[in-house]
Structure 1
């Protein structure tokens, strides 16, 4: 018998959504951005997830730090915007508490009125942070393996792209999705649907698409693009114009590869650019994708054209994927479903389901009653 999927109710349940927050998202690494996005002291990135808000900034000594984005006085949110510059200090706009870029509480208006107050005990609370190949990760809690340990099976391949030297290629892009975060992740990590639902990718890959799983919730897919020209303008010109990238291995120079890390992160790795694709839970049956591309400086006209064509191709793939996951979400509540089955071509989905079950055993139940 083929393995079964997780039951449909967990993609629509308020109770299960609450379990996911505590058992998964407060315990796993989340990508905030790239070190190049906060190049100067006072530059910051903000990252919000399921009621928590974090700020990642560069301090006066050039060190990157992460803090909860909340004033220790009366819980006012300190910094707004996905990215920005806070100057030499962070000042709360409610009562004026002021924090240094190292998180220390520097100034308190009317400090003598706080009986027995010690500023040194009331700095911003820090968040665990790890920088991997120039990418900034945070973890709100938990004590599992590091990002470097999780991605160690693919470290050698990823290092060849010189990701830490890259710069942003276009803005942050967020897209609301009328589907649960798990549906979007499952769609992103399996290639079984490519032949049917992504004609452009099928033309580019042919039979070259491969996939594998690795320990600690990571996996890999993709392959070399076919040399055979297609009839589609964007695909044909991308294959013709893509210049050589000398620091890559031969198969990487003409390959599109995908790497995923539990629970909700994927990297798209191309010869001309990379991007991250992160699915953030909003509510049961609702999610948001978070995307940004990065690339090495390259003045060649052919490279600029290849990057434009790559994004043109993948925008179409993205539209196809949104329609697919929203179609799945619409069917998950049907009495005609319940649970599904998985093919051997969906081994990365099986790995994902096993990780969910390990974190939340209730996912094995056929139904979990919602509280009144």
Structure 2
């Protein structure tokens, strides 16, 4: 089974070819600032990105019609369930015209739709970032009309949860696991019997290399009054966290300074671990401590300084497993593979 995987980001489009679950070819298509400057919106980039992915297929000597299934990263949809959704016109239009948030991942379904064309090639998105299975209690924010929204690194966190369950011999549909994605942004989710019933999103939890995380509300108000609303947004999306404190988002270099005895660097790194452990503890209370596994994934899960500190704080709750890096391309391919084999059923999005 030939599977084409498409994962658009802000300045790249990652593409990969799988034969069943085996990676055959992978490429990161870079989009320069000059290339992107010609577009006034993310939506306008769609034809360009379709052309670049089609070019990748030509380089590999493949006609789009020879692909058995296309799967793309799910974008910022309104709340959806986990798993696969059929890529159709309604899904594409929603992501392009009225997404929950603007993000390059909203282009994934459109690229897949255009490549599938009239050839009848099945196309899906899988584990969208907007998977929302929060319980009514978890949805409450404290202000009427402003519910908590469910945004977390769903694709990678569900993929590593499956891997831990398979290696440790337990059924995700019967257990509770907590997964922390430690990347440029940090988010956590509680997967209870297969559903993501609560989360700590990147804007309410630990600070990271470049995001402020859960700023106290009155601190946020002071920032708006002193520096403006746009600055607050930047602190939450690329200029906060370690970058704000040190002027750098080079986590490896900052960790090296911490290990070499720089007290400020060590404090900042320990702060990430401290806040991550607190967030794990809060999610554990939702299921009264009945947690089968705690999993740390993402780029910062390579940091022994962070993972050792988190594990020391939370291992009384459940065993801690490390899955550094990301499995996004593999997770997308595996999702499409299961759907095509009839092991999972794809849903149809209704606006």
Q: State the TM-score, normalized to the length of structure 2.
A: 0.28
TM-score, structure 1 as length reference = 0.27
Q: Higher helix proportion, which one?
A: 2
Higher relative CO (Cα under 8 Å, sequence separation at least 6) belongs to 1
